[in-house]
Amino acid sequence: MSLSWEQVVVHTISPVDLGRWWCNALGWIVVSDDHEEFEIRPEADQMPGLLFLRTAETKTTKNRLHIDLRPGDRDAEVDRLIGLGARRIDIGQGDVSWVVMADPEGNEFCVLSSR
């Protein structure tokens, strides 16, 4: 059996806006800039990517799946992401070594401690 991970799908009110935000946050490239299905990847032929699909519903509950990011400098990266429009959030994580954040549409992700 051959199985490979293609992408993570994110349902969003604005695929282009949220897709471009994540593209800037990750330093990835746009491989499809369709207004209904916006896709980014690390490189044109590198997987997995992120695919942003239009939905009419806004986010209402905590994500069941989220992305963990491992930076070289956690605090500098958190500051940079806040500058792009992310925000720190409290989901009851307590005193931990990572920072829980939300993208502009409220999707949670974590910035882990530096290695």
Residue ranges per domain, the chain? 6-58, 61-115
- What distance in Å separates the CA atoms of residue 92 and residue 30, rounded to the nearest whole number? 34
- What distance in Å separates the CA atoms of residue 98 and residue 6, rounded to the nearest whole number? 27
Nearest CA-CA partner of 101 in 80, 85, 84, 86:
86
pTM for the structure as a whole: 0.91
Q: Where are the beta strands (DSSP E) in the chain?
A: 7-12, 29-33, 37-41, 49-54, 67-69, 87-88, 99-102, 108-111
Q: CATH number of the domain at 6-58, please?
A: 3.10.180.10
CATH architecture label of 61-115:
Roll (3.10)
Indicate the average pLDDT of the chain: 95
Residues above pLDDT 90, as percent of the chain: 87
Q: What is the pLDDT of residues 60-86, one digit of tens each?
A: 888 889 999 999 999 999 999 999 999
Residues above pLDDT 70, as percent of the chain: 100
Q: What is the pLDDT of residues 1-34, one digit of tens each?
A: 789 899 999 999 999 999 999 999 999 999 999 9
